[in-house]
Amino acid sequence: MITRLKNFLNNVYVVIKRPEMLLLPGQLAFFFILSVVPILTIISYGSTILNLPVDIIFNFLSGAFGGNLAGLLTPVVAKPNVTLSFFITILMGFYIASNGASSIIITSNHIYGIKNSSFIKRKIKGLIMTTILVLLFTFILIFLVFGKNIIGIIEMANIDTRVISLAYNIIKGPITWLIIFIFIKIIYTMAPDRKIPSSYVNYGAVFTTIMWIIVTSIYSYYTSHFANYTIYYGGLANIIILMLWVYFLAYIFVIGMALNYKEEIVKLEKTGTIKLDFK
């Protein structure tokens, strides 16, 4: 057990020293933030269906992100005018956010030593991966960060939440972890421009899932119990904490991607298929 732990920590150390770890996490974090736009669209439609007053939406966002950031987000989710410009904005948000998925594809190709496919193929795959990432982040926000708060604002709309609460309590926990693992595994499998055996991405997917759950739990607890952290950074504190959370998620994601490749070449080296050369 101790030997396996040492080998794992050594693998992580080797991965962290890779040159792409200096650039890609920050780039991914930026595009992950941009993917919030489609998520806000989902929130806006949900609030419209529930006929939630603006003050309830503002109070929820204040509890989640702080008052300053809530002031910026409230106009977006409180008045979702379904017009042509609205859809154009959403499509542009998806397109720009897909650059993050494109970065994942290019970096995974670099890690695996694969030649990049054409721009069009990469962009189409990037849009599909962006959709998966948006669904993943929406799921994480609902079940790991703001689940109870969301149930609370639905109750304010005088809607019976017994079924919703039951479903939330059933899904939260091991089922949530499994769903997150499946999402991450799909992304890791899709990213490289060659067929990757599904079993070869389990190593990194498990690592990323566990670390994402830990980091997200810390973020959720911190934003819920330490409301006075704005004393250090003023109105920027909420944005800084949010960006740090997303950056850590991106950093962990890249580590998991590189761990998958290292695990793959270790398996191939054991079978004599290739000579181990991972630096």
* Inside any domain, residue 237: yes
* Inside any domain, residue 278: no
- Residue of 64, 61, 26, 30 lying closest to 219 (CA atoms): 64
Query: Token pair of 269, please?
Result: 């080296």
* Inside any domain, residue 65: yes
Q: How many domains does the chain fold into?
A: 1
* Inside any domain, residue 155: yes
State residue 118's pLDDT score: 86
pLDDT grade for 207, boundaries at 50, 70 and 90: very high
Q: pTM, whole model, 2 decimals?
A: 0.77
* Inside any domain, residue 3: no
* Inside any domain, residue 215: yes
> What would the pLDDT profile of 150-165 be if each residue is shown by its tens digit?
666 666 656 666 776 7
Tell me what the mean pLDDT of segment 131-160 comes to: 72
- Please give the angle made by the CA atoms of 6, 9 and 12, to the nearest 5 degrees: 150
Query: Token pair of 223, please?
Result: 């934003």
Quote the domain boundaries for residue 246: 11-270
Q: Judge whether 226 and 219 are in contact, CB under 8 Å.
A: no
2 or 260, higher pLDDT: 260
* Inside any domain, residue 6: no
* Inside any domain, residue 105: yes
pLDDT grade for 68, boundaries at 50, 70 and 90: low
